[in-house]
Each structure stands twice: as C-alpha cells, then as structure tokens.
Amino acid sequence: MPTLYGVSLGPGNPKLLTLRAVEVLREAPKVFVPSSKGISRAEAIVSYFTKKRRIIRLDFPMVKDEAIVAKALQRNASRVCSILQRYGSCAYAALGDLSLYSTFWRLYPYVKEKMHDLDIEVIPGVPSFCACAASAKIPLALGDDIITIIPLSASRERIENLARYADTSILLKIKPSIIRSLKLVGKEYQQAVLAMHCSTDNEQVRVANIKELEELSKYFALMIVKRRKFL
Amino acid sequence: MPTLYGVSLGPGNPKLLTLRAVEVLREAPKVFVPSSKGISRAEAIVSYFTKKRRIIRLDFPMVKDEAIVAKALQRNASRVCSILQRYGSCAYAALGDLSLYSTFWRLYPYVKEKMHDLDIEVIPGVPSFCACAASAKIPLALGDDIITIIPLSASRERIENLARYADTSILLKIKPSIIRSLKLVGKEYQQAVLAMHCSTDNEQVRVANIKELEELSKYFALMIVKRRKFL
C-alpha cells in the first residue's frame, strides 16, 4: 500500500525534531516541503537529515482566491502521487505540529482522491506555542486553567467571548483589532508574552505588561496572554 | 550557576522524544521523575536513555488538600536542591509538554525560593492531544478554526460558552457533566475522537459520532470534539 508520511518538524530548531521524525526523514526516498519563495525554514531543517537531491519543493500560493489554491493543491497532489507510484512511499514535512493549521491536511484530501489505497502515518511534533512558553520560562496552563488558541481571522465577538472565559489565550498571529478586543475584555489579564522564531538563533521573546501590548505587537508574531501572572 | 533542565517526554512513545530531550537525559547526572505509585510511564521512558541509578522518583500526592501538596513540594524541592548543590545540574522529566499542566511548574517556585541563582532550561515536547490527532489521522484545526483546551474541572457555564465559540474542543479528562454540557451546546458538532495512551502499544483511538459520546466516554481519557467533520 502506498504510504505518505506526514512529518512534524517542530518550532524551528533541528534539535526539536522527534527521534521518529528523524528516522522517517532519513529513510524516505523523497521529502516534500512547502515553499512559497526560496529555501524555507522547513527545507533548511529537512536538509540536516537527508540529501538535498531528495527534497522536493511544493508551491503553496499564499492567496485567498480558493480557485487558485485548489489548482495548486491539485498540481501538488499529482506530484506526490507520481512519487508514491514510483517509490511506494514518501514524506511531507512542515513546521510545528501537523495537526495545527498545517498545509499537510489541506493537501491530503487531494492525494487521497487520486489514490484510494493510500495509507498515511502522521508523526506529531512540538507546536510553536510550546516552544514559546519554554523560551519564556513560564507555563501555559496549570491546574484548572482553560486555554484558547486563536488564529488570525476571528470575529471580534468570538474573541471577546473566548477571552472572557479562558485563562490563557494563544494568538498565533497578531493584528491590532485582536489587541483592542483583548484590552476591552482583558482587565484581568496580568501577563503577556510576545515571541518570534522561538527555539532558533533568531529567537525573540518578551514578557510584557498588558499595557505595552499595542506598541509591542508590531514587532512580534505570536502572543500569549494570561489571566494570572506566573511568579 | 546551578541549572535545572525541564525535559518534556512527549505522549508516551520513546521515539517521540526530541533530540534535545535525549541529549539532556543522557548527560544529566541525575534525572527526577514524578511518581505516585511504582514505575510511572515517565520513569519507563527515561530509563531508555539513562542508567537506572541516575533516576530519582519524586512523590507527588494526588490529593486536593493544598497543605499536604505544599509539604510534598517543599520536600521534593529540598531533594532537587541537594542534587543541584552536589552536581551543578540535574533534570526533571515529565510526560507531554511541560508548559501544559505539568508538575514541573508546581515544583519550580519551591526550588527557586531555596536557590536564588537557579537557572532553568525547558525543553518543549509533543502534547498528548497532538499525538491523539496524529493517531486519529485528522487535523485539530485548519484555517480560521479556534481551539479550546479544557482540563477536568471547569464550571458548566464556562464550558458551554467556550464550546459555543470554539470549532474544536479538547477535553483532557472526561466526566459526565462535561459530556452533557457539550450535548446541550453541541448540536453543530459533527465529529468526536476519543483516545487513550496515544502513541504507545496500549493506544486506543475511536472516531465517534457525537451521539455515542456519553456511552463511550466511560472508556477513554482524552476527547476531541469538532464542529466540522474532516473527510
């Protein structure tokens, strides 16, 4: 049965791959990596563990037009299928953990449709926000704390309601309207962490006061706000 | 400076440790593991990577009485400090990712209080719910999906409100009242995954219909409910 391995590469540091991820990358005849322009961080990590000629870039256009996206996914699925037909197996590797907002699960249905007997193995990985908490040296949650994970686009009503009932909110991308929503509901928030490129040489982490958020949010990618301050 | 390494062991399979976690476990003069009775899974994993005589069990009583817990934490902190004084560094290893509900962050303030110049390095890991999604072969979230992570104890009002605004709810422990709350608000939920011991030989994963939840919830530890069905 043709097997597609989904490999989670973790937050960006090659030492934060799992042993199983390394094993699969070393054994796979070909490894696909998502790419929009030039060598992505995913490709840079994969090249630690396999030969360059085994790596194949797949173009994922960063546009909202669903027709363009679907066309790219079709094309990518065809390339994956031709490799699977030739070698019996291959890997698809992407940053973070594949279960969280990954291109892998956008691509998978298109490959499955072309290849009904396809089998997959997914290797879970370290999500970016876990690396961020580790770098900031704080826990995300303790005891009965409830966490919400919010991607870039969500309505103000949803964010306000979620933030009202959660102890920790993890914002995977930051935009001004999210910061304003949090300020409206966030009088009880006591601690914020802003971060970029966690676990890599370019890591930037700042434990901030909730009042500094709007100014600081321009410079960071990921934000964690907590109702209770840790230490 | 004395250094305490916090090592995330991941969901339970030794192959899901990161390269950095393995490196730290191999080099640490002593490795503490939480233990309530006998050999814990954490201890079993650690013993793949270091000698038995380097492993020290720390008792964390599973009781609600804060005075008893505080006393145990004081005692554990003293043991960690005496090892740090003797060897300069040591590791504390626990399942999952340490930023999520781990005993590590309960213990840390007690150690820090006894040893003001203490430095820490936290090695992030694979959370149980990422391993669960990987085993179930579904994504936790795609696109604009919002996730909530709910531990055992949360009021019905909070759970209902969170579930109303989230696309994916991850319940780290299951109890009947949570299931009933989700049924009240969850008319739109289309998919549920119940799981136990993911990534290990004892793994059990079941992709279920939302109607089967109450019956099945007796047999599983972790539950994921999703508003939209994947495939």
Q: What is the ipTM of this complex?
A: 0.94
Q: How confident is the model at residue B185 (pLDDT cuts 50, 70, 90)?
A: low
Q: Distance between CA atoms of B84 and B28, rounded to whole angstroms? A: 11
Weakest-pLDDT range from B37-41, B137-141, B179-183, B214-218: B179-183
pLDDT digits (tens, 9 = 90+) for A161-212: 887 889 999 998 877 777 777 776 666 677 889 999 999 999 999 988 777 7
Question: Which residue from A22, A169, A198 is spatially nearest to B123, judged by alpha carbons?
Answer: A198
Q: What share of chain A is helix, strand, coil (3-state, %, to 5)?
A: 40, 25, 35
Write the DSSP assignment of B136-203 as a string of letters.
Answer: HT--SB-TT--EEEE-S---HHHHHHHHHH-SEEEESS--HHHHHHHHHHGGG--EEEEEESTTSTT-
Interface of A with B in 131-170 (CB under 8 A): 131, 133-135, 137-154, 158, 161-162, 164-166
Interface of B with A in 97-116 (CB under 8 A): 97-102, 104-106, 109, 112
Question: Which residue from A95, A140, A123 is spatially nearest to A21, judged by alpha carbons?
Answer: A123
B contacts of A14 (beta carbons < 8 Å): 19
Q: What is the reported pLDDT for B62? A: 81
Contact between B99 and A231 using a beta-carbon 8 Å cutoff:
no
Mutate to test the interface with B, among A17, A23, A99 (most CBs of B within 10 A): A99
Q: Of B154 and A105, which is predicted with more confidence?
A: A105
Q: Distance between CA atoms of A163 and A159, rounded to whole angstroms? A: 6
Q: Distance between CA atoms of A74 and A80, rounded to whole angstroms? A: 10
Calculate the CA dihedral of residues B194, B196, B202, B203 and round it to 10 degrees. Answer: 50
Per the listing, tokens 């690396």 go with A131
pLDDT digits (tens, 9 = 90+) for B127-156: 999 999 999 999 999 988 999 999 877 777
Q: What is the reported pLDDT for A186? A: 61
Nearest CA in chain B to A146: B150
Q: Distance between CA atoms of B131 and A139, rounded to whole angstroms? A: 20
Helix (H) or strand (E) holding A12: none
For chain A, list the domains and their CATH numbers: 3-123 (3.40.1010.10), 128-226 (3.30.950.10)
